[in-house]
């Protein structure tokens, strides 16, 4: 089933808010509708399964791990109509042109990623993707300090907030990160 027009959907938010779970839900629905689905993820994301996108709750979907965004077009099957991209914030800036080309080729592109880094600042290509998307969903997690809605990702080093000048990209899960509300999100030396 081919789409008449392409579109870009962005699912964003902090860690532990359900971005990948929502991506998987949409991909499964596309498969039920007999659409040809292909999913890509950055090769650096090895937290759960190498050849699958996986949520923290255990949901998983087959995916191709790639090193750079140009590999999406190299590995895209001709009959694919729905393209899923998880952890899109980790890809190089060329991902923007690739996504635009896919959408212009009448593909439905669904991206999931962190909208802000552990510092609380816009993360990689996410601000641009959110601006050019037809549909954006910003999900929230639960603050691990107070139980309120959380929109930030807190990186922890030995149980304490990471410093502002620490490296931006360190792949990890609950052992290194927590969801936090604005009030409880701390970034020393900012």
Asked if residue 156 belongs to a domain, the reply is no
Predicted model pTM: 0.93
Q: In CATH, what number is assigned to the domain containing residue 43?
A: 3.40.50.300
Q: For residue 114, is it within any domain?
A: yes
What tens-digit pLDDT sequence spans the chain (190 residues)? Answer: 566 789 999 999 999 999 999 999 999 999 999 999 999 999 987 666 678 888 777 788 899 999 999 999 999 999 999 999 999 999 999 999 999 999 999 999 999 999 999 999 999 999 999 999 999 999 999 999 999 999 999 999 989 999 999 988 887 666 799 999 999 999 998 8
**Which residues form the domain of 54?**
7-141
Looking at the structure of the chain, the number of domains it has is: 1
Residue 169 lies in a domain: no
Instruction: Give the residue numbers annotated as catalytic, written as ranges.
Output: 87
Which residues have CB under 8 Å from 29's CB, separation 6+?
none
Q: Is 86 among the domain residues?
A: yes
């Amino acid at each position: 089933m081919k789409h008449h027009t392409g579109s870009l959907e962005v699912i964003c938010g902090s860690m532990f808010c359900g971005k990948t779970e929502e991506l998987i839900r949409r991909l499964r629905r596309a498969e039920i509708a007999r659409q040809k689905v292909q999913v890509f993820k950055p090769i650096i994301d090895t937290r759960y399964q190498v050849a699958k996108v996986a949520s923290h709750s255990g949901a998983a979907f087959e995916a191709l791990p790639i090193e750079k965004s140009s590999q999406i077009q190299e590995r895209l099957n001709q009959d694919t109509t729905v393209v899923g991209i998880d952890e899109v914030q980790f890809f190089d800036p060329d991902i923007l042109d690739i996504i635009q080309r896919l959408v212009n080729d009448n593909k439905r592109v669904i991206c999931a990623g962190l909208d802000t880094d552990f510092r609380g600042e816009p993360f990689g290509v996410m601000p641009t993707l959110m601006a050019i998307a037809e549909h954006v969903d910003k999900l929230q997690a639960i603050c691990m300090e107070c139980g309120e809605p959380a929109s930030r990702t807190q990186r922890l080093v030995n149980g304490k907030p990471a410093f502002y000048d620490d490296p931006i990209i360190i792949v990890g899960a609950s052992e290194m990160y927590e969801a936090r509300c604005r009030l409880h999100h701390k970034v020393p030396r900012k």
